[in-house]
């Protein structure tokens, strides 16, 4: 399909303020409905293919080849290694995306290549017979998914003006959390069919991303960027916090909130088995219901927070409230001794994380240092999502093992305190209210 120009898929509304104030290239009007729908589908597709293995499939794969005593440490090693790959890949491919002079556009080629690489990595995991091969597959999957994600997030900055960012951020928050809900329910039907457990969510995700690529107004660069040296590549991973303090504080807030989230999420299924005494099948079903509850609350809170954020022109209070709510949810989990209380905690966590997702992307785009080439800086922001995945499994495994047993209470209390730190970190931001 011939790529559309920027104006062929956008409404002819009044031109918004220039890029210096909006963070979106000057002249970009409000996105048309088919682009918004495609954007939502693309977000769902990427996270469906990426999160399902992390939340369910990878843990079941490890359980199928290792004894119980080795499962937590193996999961920590695999996810930590994959997170290093994700952290390095996102800014790198984001910079490539900004500089890509393909006739298919800057973002579309990396969406396609990233999703295909993700599929290849997941197939390696599904057919692996040992931890080393699983780790290689997860590295490929993580790096590839972040190539696609870097390009995808840049399309939001390219095509959504400031006045619509809260609503779009809320919608994408809904899709991001619909993904694990959908993926968990898909996994429920393939717990004994390892290949399909990895293959089905990834294929569905690829099809959704293809749908977005077909409606994406990805305007090609009109010139070939000059060649850059090795120092320029290293600068891909750096934004001076003294020159851009708002960027730095927002990055830190996201890092802490993401760290708290992954400290528990990595061990969610095993937590149900150890703390509630459930079998793998029962834990998967309980997790599916819990994730469904969590997802529904997140979707509602995300859209509401995004709408209110645009309405009142404020972002910071929503981030602070979200962090506190998420911390409270972790405290409830630390005291949970029944499945019912686990579900109650999922409600509070959903309110917190949904509120956060409703304004997070809008706030991030508002404080970007380079609005003409957003993908590189968005990639650095995504380090705040991928880097915690490096530390969270190791830190979580260490906390769980304290006292020689399965000490999930101290893990969750620590995560709650980390959430509070994330709330405090957003207060010094000045550019955005």
Q: In angstroms, rounded to a whole number, what is the distance separating the alpha carbons of residues 81 and 71? A: 16
Q: Contact, 425 vs 252, CB < 8 A?
A: yes
For the chain, domains (ranges, CATH) are 31-214+241-425 (1.20.1250.20)
pLDDT more than 90, % of the chain: 18
Tokens of 265: 């999420």
Phi, psi of 23 (to 5 degrees): 80, 0
pLDDT tens digits, one per residue of 162-214: 667 777 877 887 787 688 778 888 887 887 788 898 989 999 999 999 999 99
pLDDT tens for residues 277-334?
788 788 888 888 887 888 788 878 888 888 888 888 788 888 888 888 888 888 888 8
Find how far residue 374's CA is from the centre of its chain: 17
Average pLDDT, the chain: 80
The predicted pLDDT at position 12 comes to 33
Q: Pick the more confident residue, 204 or 364.
A: 204
Q: What is the pLDDT of residue 232?
A: 61
- Least confidently predicted of 18-22, 57-61, 138-142, 169-173: 18-22
pLDDT bin (cut points 50, 70, 90) of residue 3 is very low
Structure tokens, 167: 């609503």
pTM: 0.65
Which phi and psi (to 5°) does residue 243 adopt? -80, -30
Span 89-141, pLDDT tens digits: 888 888 788 878 788 888 999 999 999 999 999 999 999 989 999 999 999 99
pLDDT tens per residue across span 406-422: 778 888 888 888 888 88
> What are the distances in angstroms from CA 75 to CA 78, 232, 267?
5, 35, 9
Determine whether 9 is exposed, middle or buried from the number of CB atoms within 10 Å of its CB (0-12, 13-18, 19+).
Answer: middle
Inter-residue long-range contacts of 272-276, CB under 8 Å, 24+ positions, other chains counted: 272/342, 274/406, 274/408, 275/336, 275/337, 275/406, 275/408, 276/338, 276/339, 276/342
């Amino acid at each position: 399909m011939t790529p559309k120009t920027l104006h062929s898929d956008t409404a002819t509304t009044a031109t918004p303020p220039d890029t210096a104030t909006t963070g979106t290239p000057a002249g970009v009007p409000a996105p048309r409905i088919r682009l918004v729908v495609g954007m939502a589908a693309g977000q769902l597709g990427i996270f469906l293919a990426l999160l399902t293995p992390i939340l369910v499939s990878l843990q079941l794969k490890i359980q199928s080849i290792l004894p119980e005593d080795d499962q937590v440490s193996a999961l920590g090693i695999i996810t930590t290694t994959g997170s290093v790959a994700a952290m390095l890949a996102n800014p790198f491919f984001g910079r490539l995306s900004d500089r890509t002079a393909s006739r298919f556009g800057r973002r579309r080629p990396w969406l396609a290549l990233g999703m295909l690489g993700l599929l290849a990595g997941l197939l390696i995991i599904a057919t692996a017979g040992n931890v080393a091969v699983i780790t290689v597959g997860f590295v490929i999957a993580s790096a590839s998914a972040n190539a696609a994600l870097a390009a995808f997030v840049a399309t939001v900055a390219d095509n959504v003006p400031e006045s619509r960012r809260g609503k779009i951020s809320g919608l994408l928050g809904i899709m991001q959390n619909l993904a694990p809900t959908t993926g968990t329910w898909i996994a429920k039907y393939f717990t004994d069919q390892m290949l399909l457990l990895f293959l089905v969510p990834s294929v569905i995700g690829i099809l959704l991303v293809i749908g977005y690529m077909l409606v994406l107004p990805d305007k090609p660069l009109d010139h070939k960027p000059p060649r850059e040296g090795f120092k320029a590549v290293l600068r891909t991973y750096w934004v001076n916090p003294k020159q851009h303090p708002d960027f730095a504080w927002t990055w830190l807030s996201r890092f802490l909130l993401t760290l708290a989230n992954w400290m528990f999420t990595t061990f969610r299924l095993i937590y149900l088995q150890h703390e509630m005494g459930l079998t793998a099948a029962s834990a998967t079903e309980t997790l599916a219901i819990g994730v469904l509850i969590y997802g529904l609350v997140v979707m509602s809170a995300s859209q509401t927070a995004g709408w209110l954020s645009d309405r009142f022109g404020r972002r910071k209070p929503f981030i602070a409230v979200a962090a506190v709510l998420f911390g409270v949810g972790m405290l409830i989990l630390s005291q949970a001794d029944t499945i019912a209380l686990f579900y109650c905690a999922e409600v509070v966590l959903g309110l917190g994380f949904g509120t956060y997702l409703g304004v997070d992307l809008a706030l991030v785009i508002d404080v970007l240092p380079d609005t003409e080439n957003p993908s590189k800086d968005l990639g650095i922001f995504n380090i705040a999502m991928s880097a915690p995945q490096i530390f969270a499994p190791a830190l979580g495994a260490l906390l769980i093992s304290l006292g020689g047993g399965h000490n999930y209470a101290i893990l969750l209390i620590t995560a709650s305190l980390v959430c509070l730190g994330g709330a405090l970190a957003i207060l010094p931001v000045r550019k955005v209210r």
